[in-house]
Chains A and B, each alone.
Chain A
């Protein structure tokens, strides 16, 4: 048949150009048509509306931690005492298990100094998910100390975090993540 003859003919004729153009148009159309089916699996507008939250910190006492929910995870907000801040600043970054700040507000290579873990030193905001396998660490208080660094202890496999949320002992490889956030008022922050 003529179409088979053309398939083996190496020189594209005007007829072949039409077929190529049509085939290309169909392919392009199919690609544009496929996009909505792929995009529908991306987070919906309802999910994205919850991607940012604003929290009021005014009621939190020094030494107290409050847990909020952010993007489906627990969010630790801890109002540090001067003692806790000093303890965090006394540690040299080179002695840390994980030397990077893991702070969403800073560059990836920022070192894990206490200054790089906060915006205002009194307020420590962390994603409350252990960087080992995802359990929620328990906060250490003077009444109920958890771990030996005054921060958090993850009961699943024994990871211990200090008063800046940095990993000090145990299987977790990274410091607790600091989410991107900003102060919108003296005691109000917006996360995400």
Chain B
């Protein structure tokens, strides 16, 4: 309707001209990437999910927990698609903190935490027993849990991809990199506590995909996107069915509306 144009114009002008003062500590906008899960028909690339799981397991899990993901999720629909047997084997390869033994102890003679092999119902174990231990092992910084990281950051997968591939650049003249931190132009303040996590060949992909930093990053970002939104494929599928039905229903209701009002207009 014509009446809306002024409102839309106001909004458009505001959005277009809101400028940010560019300074050298303002982060760069994230690199624009294409993901298999983009768009209304998006799905997760199974191969990328499995490779991404491998990257998480072999690289990221040293510091980052994945609390909300259970081993059995790896076998679920819309996920990496491991079989139940494979998932059981993956779970059994993990050491899960065990319940107290019959003497009420939770550590062995040397003070190590007693553990048991993981089962499907277990969640991914934490790399550190508590926040203080995590900080002590990471120069005072707390590596965030990655279960929701894609949804918890503006820019989502593009942002996370930019961060983990954004290392190694030369800081602009006069920019001071704080001690113990690394220069990353995509991170707010450009000083990030995380060391560059990926290098060429950090992992060896069993499906033969070349282990470039970009491929490793794409894989782990896809995996983390799934961890943040495991229900994405079901959501897209059900959404299509529901909206298609509603469009048909709207059509029927429109015809009924016209019929009812036929002689009243």
Complex contact B259–A15 (CB within 8 A) = yes
Is A95 close to B, CB under 8 A? no
Tell me the nearest residue of chain B to A28, going by C-beta.
Answer: B245
Complex contact A49–B121 (CB within 8 A) = yes
Complex contact A25–B248 (CB within 8 A) = yes
Complex contact B72–A29 (CB within 8 A) = no
A contact face: mostly helix, strand, loop, or mixed = helix
Mark out the residues of chain A between 26 and 60 whose CB falls within 8 Å of any chain B CB in the assembled complex: 26, 29, 32, 45-46, 49-50, 53-54
Choose among A2, A18, A26, A49 the residue that contacts B255 (Cβ–Cβ < 8 A).
A18
Is B119 close to A, CB under 8 A? yes
Complex CA–CA separation, A183 to B93 (angstroms):
22
Interface size class of B (residues with CB under 8 A): 10 to 19
Interface flags for B143-176 (1: CB within 8 Å of A; 0: not) read: 0000000000000000000000000000000000
B contact face: mostly helix, strand, loop, or mixed = helix
In the assembled complex, which residues on chain A have CB atoms less than 8 Å from the CB atom of B60?
A: none
Complex contact A25–B252 (CB within 8 A) = yes
Known: A25-B249, A29-B249. A49 touches B120 (CB 8 A): yes
Complex contact B256–A22 (CB within 8 A) = yes
Complex contact B263–A21 (CB within 8 A) = no
Tell me the nearest residue of chain A to B102, going by C-beta.
Answer: A59
In the assembled complex, which residues on chain B have CB atoms less than 8 Å from the CB atom of A21?
A: 252
Interface size class of A (residues with CB under 8 A): 10 to 19
Is B141 close to A, CB under 8 A? no
Complex CA–CA separation, A46 to B119 (angstroms):
13
Is B253 close to A, CB under 8 A? yes
Complex CA–CA separation, A10 to B87 (angstroms):
63
Choose among A25, A32, A54 the residue that contacts B119 (Cβ–Cβ < 8 A).
A54
Tell me the nearest residue of chain B to A19, going by C-beta.
Answer: B256
Choose among B70, B249, B256 the residue that contacts A49 (Cβ–Cβ < 8 A).
B70
Is A94 close to B, CB under 8 A? no
Complex CA–CA separation, A25 to B121 (angstroms):
41
What is the distance, in angstroms, from B265's C-beta to the closest C-beta of chain A? 14
In the complex, 11 of the A-B residue pairs with CB atoms within 8 angstroms, ordered by the A residue number, are: A2-B263, A18-B256, A21-B252, A22-B249, A22-B252, A22-B256, A25-B248, A26-B249, A29-B249, A45-B72, A50-B121
Which residues does B use to contact A, with CB under 8 Å? 70, 72, 76, 119-121, 245-246, 248-249, 252-253, 255-256, 259-260, 263
* 15 additional A-B residue pairs with CB within 8 Å, beyond A19-B256, A25-B252, A45-B76: A2-B263, A15-B259, A18-B255, A18-B256, A21-B252, A22-B249, A22-B255, A25-B245, A25-B248, A26-B249, A29-B249, A32-B245, A49-B70, A49-B121, A53-B119
